[in-house]
Amino acid sequence: MCGFSVFTGKVEEKEFEEKFDLISHRGPDQRAIHRLSEGTMGFHRLAIMDLSEAGSQPFISKSKTHLVSNGEIYNHRTLRTDYIDRYDFKSDSDCEVIIPIFEEYGIEKLLTSLDGEFAFAIEQDGKFYAGRDPIGIRPLFYGYGLEDGKIAFASEVKALQGLCKDIKPFPPGHYYADGEFTPYFDVRKIKSRAKEDLELVYQGIHDHLVEGVKKRLDADAPVGFLLSGGLDSSLVCAIAAKLSDRPIKTFAVGIDTNPIDLKYARIVADYLGSEHHEVIFTKEEAFEHLGELVHKLETWDITTIRASMGMSLVCKYIKEKTDVKVVLTGEVSDELFGYKYTDFAPSPLEFQKEAQKRVHELYIYDVLRADRSISSHSLEARVPFSDKAFIEYVMGIAPELKMNWSGEGKYLLRKAFDHSGYLPDEILWREKAAFSDAVGHDMVDWLKALAEEKYSEEELSKASEKYPYATPFTKESLMYRDLFEGHFPGLCGLITDFWMPNKEWENCQVDDPSARVLPNYGASGE
């Protein structure tokens, strides 16, 4: 997990450095600022592949192509073999292979060749190019310089704020070249296959996810796993444990009053024989962390902030108490296989449309949460469920098979691993619990109570006057919006809307994003 800032036009040196260093948490292992004939590149490195100085960036080729990249290219060794005889590689870094492919074939062929999680910017002969991975796992933003209107790119908004106007997220699955943004991958355009035999579907899900985890175990730095005790993170840990020749390191988080998932995470850890760590936080620690958390996240969304609290605090522990630098997580599964509210999808077509929308928007919700919560503590996030081949396979499954026809959410995923002793049945077939709730129901109640103390009904009623865009509709959401505006005034458009269930569906006309308010929440937290 690295961070970069690239201005293609004029920028005052002191101001650039001041903003650039606001994202130093993304890469404490190396800092570089490179002046170009026109423009400036800055890079903060978190060393994961090739820990030596040879892996430092920017990478500069003999023909003076400049590259800064925040990412992991999982097929870099295969790609490298095609160029080893005609390109002078300076390092064993996975990202360096981007340059020879770009120089030989251009940016579109480059992006369709890469298998990984990445965001990068390239300068060649005074022209600038940029690209982002298909799902947006690695963050990237752009804006236009206040002085000359020329485009700038950065890993977080903080590095552009005050120096640019019209700051926006760089769209996933796109590249920038010749002044235009061009799509090269769109999850919404994946076609569904004809209905297949269920046993073949189970095997396909199994094989693609195992491969997605396997790729993400490749690191020269120590690897750990976030373990909530829910299905998704437990499966990632179970697969990794089978692939590893030593006990994996797992980390669970909960609150000090009713930590719902700690006991389930402990069951998984004991079953897998992992080196397990438990992190417990208090109401006071949550309140103390809240303002800083919103600044890290760069969002005002209710669900994102709630669910980031536990993730950020467990990552703080990992950074301070261990040598782990890479963290695997269970994000993206919900959007692919269905969440509690998708049980109410009125048809397979509507289920598929909802999945397409949610996966497409991950970069401003769950994926944003994972990146900021993890990178803010100088760790790297890897997301096996976001593997491009896995997403293409699962999105292609006939939607009628993915709907909750069995009465058991994520039935296909559970059945795909209902063999070979991956997990005990009490975990594999456990009811879904939302992560923001699973750290302990009391946490959300604490935050709501804090907002009740801070705001009157009159203040809430005037929220639309204060915030006409994405108007806060509860005191809690108003509290988050005020915190956000305190850090990022005028940038509310970075997030398109609140993450909420599809209110057009039966039983989904709710005023809180938590699955707890849905009639089918079940006993996941018991």
pTM of the full structure: 0.95
CA atoms within 13 A on the CB side of 137: 25
The residue segments making up the domain with residue 265 are: 198-517
**How many domains in the chain?**
2
Residue 65 lies in a domain: yes
Residue 526 lies in a domain: no
**pLDDT for the residue numbered 52:** 83
Q: Give the helix/strand (H/E) hosting 224.
A: strand 223-226
Residue 343 lies in a domain: yes
pLDDT band at 522 (very low <50, low <70, confident <90, very high): low
- Rounded Cα distance between 41 and 459, Å, is 44
- Rounded Cα distance between 95 and 99, Å, is 8
Residue 191 lies in a domain: no
- Rounded Cα distance between 410 and 404, Å, is 7
- Given a cut of 80, is residue 182 above it in pLDDT? yes
> Are 148 and 72 in contact, with CB atoms under 8 Å apart?
no
- Which CATH number covers residue 174? 3.60.20.10
* pLDDT tens digit sequence for 62-101: 999 999 999 999 999 999 998 988 888 988 899 999 999 9
Amino acid at 66: H
Residue 523 lies in a domain: no
**467 Cβ contact partners less than 8 Å away, ≥ 6 residues apart:** 481, 485, 492
Please name which of 241, 266, 190, 232 lies closest in space to residue 410, comparing C-alpha atoms. Answer: 232
Residue 30 lies in a domain: yes
Please name which of 400, 339, 402 lies closest in space to residue 365, comparing C-alpha atoms. Answer: 339
Beta strands 66-73; 59-60: pairing state: antiparallel
- Rounded Cα distance between 382 and 138, Å, is 10
- Rounded Cα distance between 411 and 70, Å, is 35
User: Which of residues 164, 185, 206 is at a domain's end?
Assistant: 185
What backbone phi and psi angles, to 5 degrees, belong to 224? -135, 175
Please give the span between the terminal C-alpha atoms of the chain, in angstroms, as a whole number.
36
* pLDDT tens digit sequence for 462-491: 999 999 999 999 999 999 999 999 999 999
Q: Do 436 and 318 sit in the same domain of this protein?
A: yes
Q: Do 265 and 128 sit in the same domain of this protein?
A: no
DSSP line for 140-183: -EEEEETTT--EEEESSGGGTBTTEEEEEEPPTTEEEETTEEEE
The residues annotated as belonging to the active site are: 2, 46, 70-71, 303, 306
- Rounded Cα distance between 303 and 309, Å, is 10
User: Which of residues 153, 185, 217 is at a domain's end?
Assistant: 185
Q: Do 385 and 428 sit in the same domain of this protein?
A: yes
As a whole-number percent, the residues of the chain with pLDDT over 70 amount to: 98
Q: Do 242 and 106 sit in the same domain of this protein?
A: no
**pLDDT for the residue numbered 260:** 76
Residue 524 lies in a domain: no
Mean confidence (pLDDT) of the chain? 94
132, two tokens: 């982002």
Beta strands 275-281; 326-328: pairing state: unpaired
**pLDDT for the residue numbered 525:** 45
- Given a cut of 80, is residue 433 above it in pLDDT? no
pLDDT band at 514 (very low <50, low <70, confident <90, very high): confident
Q: How many residues does the chain have?
A: 526
Q: Is residue 418 packed enough to be buried (19+ CB in 10 Å), middle (13-18) or exposed (0-12)?
A: middle
395, two tokens: 């999105």
Residue 15 lies in a domain: yes
- Rounded Cα distance between 261 and 155, Å, is 32
- Which CATH number covers residue 346? 3.40.50.620
> Are 433 and 524 in contact, with CB atoms under 8 Å apart?
yes
